[in-house]
Amino acid sequence: MFKFLALFSFVVKVFLFKQLARTDFMNRKFFRVFLLSILCSMIQFTPTLCANPLCPPALFSVGGGYWDAGIQHSGGVFELEYKAGRYWYRYFRPQASLVIPNFNSLYAAVGLALELYICEHLVFCPNFSPGLYYQGQGRNLGYPLEFRSAVELAYENINWVRIGVQLFHISNANLSNTDTNPGANALVGYISIPLTSKSCCKHRCY
């Protein structure tokens, strides 16, 4: 019952994200509150979560979706991501990401992901990554240093392959001297493939 409530809470928040994603308020404050509310709702139901595997394989992800950075700079987005084959403090996983909006700009970041197994095959993963943005022919986001906040929900099969969806927001946290911080949002579908086979690991539920 608690697992169902946690999943229902997540779906409601995704619906709110969809309704408010087009507003300017979304680009600044709402996304932070949105991520915090999701994390709090998951923590509320942590007694029903499964334990993370002791020795997960490294994962390589390929994804694509929609990039929202204003009317003139919105379109497709391509993403590559690597998740390390280890956890820090049981739940935190190092990751590296490469985002290519419209194939005319580039964002590279390194950060940490908090992985929570809602059940044995369903993984919820909020993550945060600082990185560098190269504008190219894309939109001016105001500063080379940008921060990416993201949430993911993925199904993981017995061979460690994941298929999931990711929502993320990129912002420079108003570091620009010109007060330029338009931000950008993206919705990405992805598939993750294990780079090593570690069949000895089992998911242990509390």
Q: Give the per-residue SS3 of the chain.
A: CHHHHHHHHHHHHHHHHHHHCCCHHHHHHHHHHHHHHHHHHHHHCHHHCECCCCCCCCEEEEEEEEEECCHHHCEEEEEEEEECCCCECCCEEEEEEEEEECCCCEEEEEEEEECEEEECCEEEEEEEEEEEEECCCCCCCCCCEEEEEEEEEEEECCCCCEEEEEEEEEECCCCCCCCCCCCEEEEEEEEEEECCCCCCCCCCEC
pLDDT by 10-residue block (mean), the chain, 206 residues: 48 49 49 57 56 88 92 88 94 97 94 94 96 92 94 95 96 81 93 78 46
Please tell me the pTM assigned to this model: 0.75
> What is the pLDDT at residue 9?
55
Domains plus CATH for the chain? Answer: 49-194 (2.40.160.20)
> What is the pLDDT at residue 33?
57
